[in-house]
Chains A and B, each alone.
Chain A
Amino acid sequence: MFGYSKLKAWTVIVVSVFGLLFSLPNFLPESVYKQVPEGIRKVWHPVTLGLDLSGGSYLLLQVDTGALYKEQLTSLADSVRTALVDRKVRFSGLKVEGEGKEQYVSFKLLNSGDYSKVRETVLRLENGLQVSSSGAAVSVSYTPAALIQMTNAAVEQSIDIVRRRIDELGTKEPSIQQEGEDRIRVQLPGVQEPGEVKALLGKTAKMTFHLVDEETSVYDAQRGKIAPDSMLVPGDDMNEAFYVLKRASVVGGDQFQTANASFQNGTEAVVNFQFKQAGARKFSVATRDNIGKRLAIVLDGKVISAPSIQSHIPGGSGVITGNFTIDSAKELALMLRSGALPAPLSVVEEKVVGPGLGADSIEAGFLSCMIGVVLVFAFVFLVYGKMGTFANIALIFNGLLLLAILGLFNATLTLPGVAGIALTIGMAVDSNILVFERMREELKMGRTAPLNVINAGFENSFTAILDSQLTTLFAAFVLYWLGSGPVKGFGVTLGIGILTTMFTAIMVTKFLMLAWLKIRKPKEITL
C-alpha cells in the first residue's frame, strides 16, 4: 500500500478509529450519552474528572501504627505473664516500654539463670518475636518483618472498615485506597462537607464487655493494689471516674451481628445489638454465671456504662445504655455494625473543592486548550503550509487518542492534567518539526522526488524523536511516582501524551502524506 507496509497502514487506521470512537463520549451532550445502554457505557465513557474539577472531598488518613504496636504488645505482655507464671519463672516489673516502632515488653528475672527457659517459652508463644537480655533485664519485641506484616494487615482491615462506614452514609462512588505504607486515601466525589465522614472515621469504636472486679476498690487499684488479672479503666464523662475491671473480655467487639439506635422508655436513646452465634454463646454463659454482678461496656478504652446483669440473656441480644443523644447512638450503632478499626486514624491532609470552583476550572481549562490548539494549528500551517495540514490532522488525532486512552484506562483528569494535555499538543509539534526540518534539508540538498524526501525526513529524524521523547517519559514516570492527586494525574497525562505523540507524529503524519502522494501524485513538494 503506497510504499507503506500493510501492517503499519492498518495499525494507523485501527488506532485512529479507536481514538475517534473512544474519545466521542467526551463530546456528546449528557442527554444524548444517557440514552446509551448501560453495558456499553461501562466501557465507553468520558474521562473521569478529578476532584479538583468535579468538586468533592479528599482525605488522607494516617493509621496510628504506634498505637497499633502498643496494643499488640500489651496483649503480648499478658500472654508472656501467663506463660511465665505457668512455667514458675519468678520475675518483676513486666511492662510495655518505648515508642512507635521501638516498643517492647520488658521485665526483670529474679534468677537470671532462667533466661534460656524464658527465651524458649516466649518464642513459642507467637511467630515473629525476638528476645534479648542484658543481665537480668529481658526484652521481648516483634521482628521488623512482623511489624510490617502487622501494619499491612491493619491498613487492609482499616480500608475495609472505612469503606463500610462510608458506604453506610450512602456516599456515591467513594474511592478508598492505600497510599504508601500506613496511609489511606479517601476520595468522595460531590461531598462538600466531609465533617460527618471525619467524625465517623475519628473513632476506632473498639467495644468490649468486661466484668467489674467487685473485690478491688478504685482507691486500692490507683495505689497499685490490683490483681494481675484486673485493670483500671477510666469512665466516660458522666460516669464514675474509674472502674476496676477484669482484664479478660466477656465478648469482643468483632462479634456484633447488627446494632441499631432506638429509644428506651420513650426518651432514652440506646443502642440495640445482636451478637453473632459465637458471641451470643459466650454472652449467654457470662450472664448466666454472673447474675447480680456488673458488666462494663468499654468503648475505645473508656467505660460508657456498667449495668448490673439482671437475668440470664440467652439469645445474644441486648441494649447498650449510656449518655447518648439519638445522633450519637446512631453513630455508635453504625460503627459497631461496620466493625472496630484496628488502630486509630487521623486526618493528615484534606482537600475540599466546591462545585463552583471545579466548574470554573473546567471552563478555564477547556477555553485555554481550545484557544491554544487553534493558535498552534495556525502556527504550524503558517510555517509549513500544505504539509503542515497533515501535521495538524495528526495533532487532532493525538488529542483524541489521548482522551480515549485516559478514558479507557479510567485515568483521572485533573486540572494540571488539562495543562498536561495542552502542553502535549504544544510540544507534540516538536516531533513534526523535526521531521519537516529534515525534509527541508533534503530539499535544500536538491532532492525533490516527493517519496524520497518524505522517507528521508522521517528516517533521519527518528532517533532524535525517540530519544527526546523517551527522556521526557522518565520525567513523567517520576511525577507519577512522586505525586498524589492532581500531580499524579499530570504525570499520567504527560506520559500517555508522549506515547500518543510518538505514534501520531511518526505514523499518522507519514500515512497521511503517503496517501496524499498516492492520490494527488505531486511532482514535487514545497515546505
Chain B
Amino acid sequence: MTKIMNSFLEKTPHIDFIKIRWYGFILALLVFAGSIFSLWTKGLDYGIDFKGGLLIEIQTPAPTQAADVRVKLDSLNLEDLTIQSIGQEGTSFLIYTTGTKQVVQTEMETYNQVKELLGEEVAFRRVEMVGPTIGQELIKKSIMATALAILAICIYIAVRFEWPFALTSMVGLTFVMTVIVGFCSVFGIDFNMTIVAAIMSLAGYSVNDTVVTFDRVRDNLKKYHRMPIDELLNKAINETLSRTLLTSLSTILMLVVLLFFGGETLFGFSLVFLVGIFIGTYASIFIAVQLLRLFDLRKIGSKDDEGPYAAAAVYEKEAKKLPLQPSSCGSCPKNR
C-alpha cells in the first residue's frame, strides 16, 4: 500500500499552472463576484451571538414534532419564533426567538413561561440570552479583528519575505475570507462565533499554505539564477503540490470525522473549514503565487545572496557537475 502511495507521490508533477492562469483567475473572479452578490442581496444568517435573542434547547421525553412544540408556545406570541428539530431521535429541539429589546428584558419571564407551558418532563439542555448591543459590538469587533489579522500576517510576510509576497498573499487572503463568508451566505449557515473562529483559523491555514509555496519560490530564486520567473513559479507550485495534497488530506480526514461525530456545535465549524481548505489551496496556487508574476522578483530577490540558501545553491551547482554517486557506496563512511 505504501508503495502505491509512493509511486503516486514520488514524481514531482509537471502541471503548467501558469499556462492555465486565466482560467484560474476567471473562476476565482466568478466565485468572488458570486460571494459578494449573495452577501449583498441575501446577507448572512446571523446566529444568536450576533443578532441577540433567546435560544433554548430542550429535550422531550418522547419523540414529537416541531409543530407540536410551536402550538404549545403559541400563546406567548413570541417574535420571530423558530423551532428546529435537531438530531435523529426527534426529541431535541432548538427554540429561538429574536432579540427585540422587549424580549430580552423579559427574557427571564419568557424562559419561565416556556418552561411552564412545556411541562415538567421536558429537560432544558441549554439556554442562551444575548442582548442586542452585544451582537452589534461583536460584528464590529469581528470585522476589525479580521482586518487586523490580515494586516499582521502581511506585515510578517513583508518582513520575512518581500513586499510583493505580502501584497499577493493579502489579495489571496481577502479572496479566501470573502468566498468563505459568501459560502455561509449562499447556504444559509448559522453565522455564530464558532464560525468566526473557523474562518479565522482558516485564514491561518490558507496563509500557511501560501507561505510554504512562497518559501519554495524564495528558495528557487536563490537556487536558479537564470530560470525564467514563469518556470520558477511553476516549479515551486509543483514541488510543493504533494505536500499541499498530503497536508490537506490529513486535515480533511480530521474535519470529516468532526463533521460526522463532533455533534451539532462543531458541524458548522467543520463544514466551513472543510470547504475553506479547498478555497485556501486554490487561492495559494491561482492567486497568491501567480500574482507574483506582476513583480520583478529577480530585482528584489537579488538583494541578499547571503541567505541560508546561498551555500546550498552553490553546493547544488557543484553537485550537478559531479556524476551521481551510486546509492550504496562501500567506501563512504556510514555516519558522517
Taking Cβ atoms with an 8 Å cutoff, the residues of A that contact B are 3, 52, 60, 62, 192, 195, 198, 347-354, 356-357, 360-361, 364-365, 367-368, 371-372, 375-376, 379-385, 415-416, 418-420, 422-423, 425-427, 429-430, 433-434, 437, 440-441, 444-452, 460, 463-464, 467-479, 481-483, 486-487, 490-491, 494, 517, 521, 523-524, 527
CB pair B258 A419 closer than 8 Å = yes
CB pair B5 A383 closer than 8 Å = yes
CB pair B266 A429 closer than 8 Å = no
CB pair B211 A464 closer than 8 Å = yes
Least Cβ distance of A391 to chain B in Å? 10
Question: Which A residues are CB-close (under 8 A) to B185?
Answer: none
Closest Cβ neighbor of B124 among chain A residues: A354
Question: Which A residues are CB-close (under 8 A) to B201?
Answer: 420, 423, 472, 475-476, 479, 490, 494
CB pair A382 B207 closer than 8 Å = no
Taking Cβ atoms with an 8 Å cutoff, the residues of B that contact A are 1-2, 5-6, 9-10, 57, 59, 107-108, 123-131, 133-134, 141-142, 145-146, 148-149, 152-153, 156-157, 160-161, 193-194, 196-197, 200-201, 203-205, 207-209, 211-212, 214-216, 218-219, 239-240, 242-243, 246-247, 249-251, 253-255, 257-258, 260-263, 265-266, 269-270, 273, 308, 312, 319, 324-325, 327-328, 332, 334-336
Least Cβ distance of B220 to chain A in Å? 12
CB pair B334 A430 closer than 8 Å = no
Least Cβ distance of A312 to chain B in Å? 45
Q: How far is the CA of A434 from the CA of B244 in the complex (A)?
A: 9
CB pair B261 A353 closer than 8 Å = no
Question: Which B residues are CB-close (under 8 A) to A452?
Answer: 336
CB pair A415 B148 closer than 8 Å = no
Least Cβ distance of A278 to chain B in Å? 39
Least Cβ distance of A35 to chain B in Å? 33
Q: Decide yes or no: A471 and B247 within 8 Å by CB, A364-B263, A372-B253 being known contacts.
A: no
Known: A383-B246, A479-B145. 6 other contacts (CB 8 A): A354-B126, A356-B59, A382-B1, A449-B334, A463-B215, A524-B327
Question: Which B residues are CB-close (under 8 A) to A469?
Answer: 208
**What are 9 sample pairs from A and B whose C-beta atoms fall under 8 A apart?**
A192-B124, A354-B126, A356-B59, A368-B266, A379-B249, A430-B251, A437-B242, A451-B336, A517-B335
Closest Cβ neighbor of A361 among chain B residues: B263
Closest Cβ neighbor of B59 among chain A residues: A356
Q: Decide yes or no: A354 and B125 within 8 Å by CB, A195-B108, A446-B327 being known contacts.
A: yes
CB pair A371 B128 closer than 8 Å = no
Question: Which A residues are CB-close (under 8 A) to B255?
Answer: 423, 426
CB pair A471 B258 closer than 8 Å = no
Q: How far is the CA of A449 from the CA of B329 in the complex (A)?
A: 9
CB pair B263 A475 closer than 8 Å = no
Q: Decide yes or no: A482 and B141 within 8 Å by CB, A460-B312, A472-B204 being known contacts.
A: yes
Question: Which B residues are CB-close (under 8 A) to A483?
Answer: 193, 197
Question: Which B residues are CB-close (under 8 A) to A418?
Answer: 266
Q: Which 9 A-B pairs have the closest CB atoms?
A: A426-B254, A472-B204, A475-B204, A364-B263, A348-B131, A464-B215, A368-B261, A372-B257, A468-B208
Question: Which B residues are CB-close (under 8 A) to A198?
Answer: 108
The secondary structure that dominates the A interface is: helix
CB pair A467 B211 closer than 8 Å = yes
Q: Decide yes or no: A426 and B270 within 8 Å by CB, A437-B242, A449-B332, A472-B208 being known contacts.
A: no
Q: State which of A385, A430, A479 has its C-beta within 8 Å of the C-beta of B208.
A: A430
Q: State which of A372, A384, A434, A449 has its C-beta within 8 Å of the C-beta of B212.
A: A434
Least Cβ distance of A507 to chain B in Å? 19
Question: Which A residues are CB-close (under 8 A) to B145?
Answer: 478-479, 481-482
CB pair A434 B149 closer than 8 Å = no
CB pair A491 B59 closer than 8 Å = no
Q: State which of B57, B129, B242 has its C-beta within 8 Å of the C-beta of A357.
A: B57
CB pair B2 A385 closer than 8 Å = yes
CB pair B335 A350 closer than 8 Å = no
CB pair A349 B134 closer than 8 Å = yes
Q: State which of A350, A364, A479, A517 has its C-beta within 8 Å of the C-beta of B261.
A: A364
CB pair B265 A60 closer than 8 Å = no
Q: Decide yes or no: A440 and B250 within 8 Å by CB, A349-B134, A469-B208, A474-B153 being known contacts.
A: no
Question: Which A residues are CB-close (under 8 A) to B216?
Answer: 464
CB pair B208 A357 closer than 8 Å = no
CB pair A357 B194 closer than 8 Å = no
Closest Cβ neighbor of A183 among chain B residues: B134
CB pair B205 A487 closer than 8 Å = no
Least Cβ distance of B78 to chain A in Å? 17
CB pair A445 B126 closer than 8 Å = no
Least Cβ distance of A85 to chain B in Å? 42
Question: Which B residues are CB-close (under 8 A) to A422?
Answer: 254, 257-258, 262
CB pair B204 A476 closer than 8 Å = yes
Least Cβ distance of A182 to chain B in Å? 12
CB pair B327 A448 closer than 8 Å = yes
CB pair A353 B125 closer than 8 Å = yes
Q: Decide yes or no: A479 and B125 within 8 Å by CB, A427-B247, A430-B208, A474-B149 being known contacts.
A: no
